[in-house]
Amino acid sequence: MNVNIDSAQLQPHQLHSVEAVLNYLAPTMERPRTYTNDPPPGELRSTIVSESRVLRIHNLRPAASSVSLDREGFALIRHETAVTNFWDDDEVKAVYYPEVESALKQATGADRVFIFDHTTRRRIPGAEDSRTGIRQPVPQVHVDHTAKSGPQRVRDLLSDEAEELLKGRVQVINLWRPIRGPLQDFPLAVCDAGSVSFEDLVPSDLIYPHRVGEIYQVHCNPAHHWYYAPEMQVEEALLLKCFDSKTDGRARFAPHSAFSDPTAPSDAAPRESIEVRTLVFHRN
């Protein structure tokens, strides 16, 4: 007997994919830039103009055991934590940082992991992201570092050791997780780095009060393959590669973005999440 199943009746974790809006960088002749604090008088806070595309985002779970940081640029892992309050920065640094360091060493075989910051986010409907208040999910396709800013972070943060460390392999890897689950509201979409052309990546200035960082905004390319893990739990985490000094064909930059999941229930709890940013070092 054949049974027809309406996809609207399926639970999100049972769906093969969803169609949702992702915001890319619109074509531009100017170098994009964004001020992290109030801009100078007469200046726009950001010159980024988004181009929205409805794209298919595949369920990562059926393929989770086969994706890898070196091939796709991301990985879904199980990661238990002893943290009781992710909004307590002191507890995060004392308890969570060592847990993240251990997880990344195990996942990558690294000789050393240096954690340089973390960000907690809570979605407040209608609110804009603010670095002086509660941080919001970022619904814009981007990569946190570039071929230039990855090594520069090593020089900025570990200046006495930088040149020696940069002789080996260096990666910038984020560990991202929900603070409460199952996460249904504004999950994180990740793009297979192997489907991204280097020409899709557009260097963009991130202007802080005392320095200028650089990230990649991303132009849309029909070749991009997108994934997400539906209904992530607190015991799960995504590893995201934002830079790799190896240029031998391994994944180097994995674009990602928050997105509004059309299968999420209308009463889904607003997303709460934390990402930890790390420098990962290998001698070889």
pLDDT one-digit tens code per residue, 203-245: 999 999 999 999 999 999 999 999 999 999 999 999 999 999 9
pTM of the model: 0.92
Q: How many domains does the chain have?
A: 1
Give the range of the structural domain holding residue 277, as residue numbers without chain letter: 42-282
Domain at 84, CATH number: 2.60.120
Confidence of residue 126 (pLDDT cuts 50, 70, 90): confident
Q: Which two tokens stand for residue 204?
A: 């963009």
- State the average pLDDT for the chain: 92
Predicted confidence (pLDDT) at residue 127 exceeds the cutoff of 90: no
Provide, rounded to the nearest whole percent, the portion of the chain with pLDDT above 90.
88
Confidence of residue 283 (pLDDT cuts 50, 70, 90): confident
Domain assignment present for 2: no
CB atoms under 10 Å from CB of 2, counted, come to: 3
pLDDT at residue 4, rounded to an integer? 32
pLDDT at residue 67, rounded to an integer? 95
pLDDT at residue 134, rounded to an integer? 86
pLDDT at residue 128, rounded to an integer? 75
Domain assignment present for 272: yes
Q: Which two tokens stand for residue 112?
A: 């050393």
- Which residue, among 56, 52, 31, 24, has the nearest Cα to 140 in the 3D structure? 24
Domain assignment present for 9: no
Predicted confidence (pLDDT) at residue 3 exceeds the cutoff of 70: no
Rg (CA), the chain: 19
pLDDT in tens, 53-104: 999 999 999 999 999 999 999 999 999 999 999 999 999 999 999 999 999 9
pLDDT at residue 14, rounded to an integer? 54
Predicted confidence (pLDDT) at residue 12 exceeds the cutoff of 60: no
pLDDT at residue 156, rounded to an integer? 96
Domain assignment present for 193: yes
Domain assignment present for 278: yes
Confidence of residue 281 (pLDDT cuts 50, 70, 90): very high
Secondary structure element (H or E) that encloses residue 155, with its range: helix 149-157
pLDDT at residue 15, rounded to an integer? 60
More confident residue, 159 or 284: 159
Domain assignment present for 60: yes
Residue 87 sits at φ, ψ, to 5 deg, of -90, 0
Enumerate the H helices of the chain as residue ranges.
89-91, 97-108, 149-157, 162-165
Domain assignment present for 4: no
pLDDT at residue 133, rounded to an integer? 75
Domain assignment present for 7: no
Asked if the peptide bond before residue 12 counts as cis, ω within 30 degrees of 0, the response is no
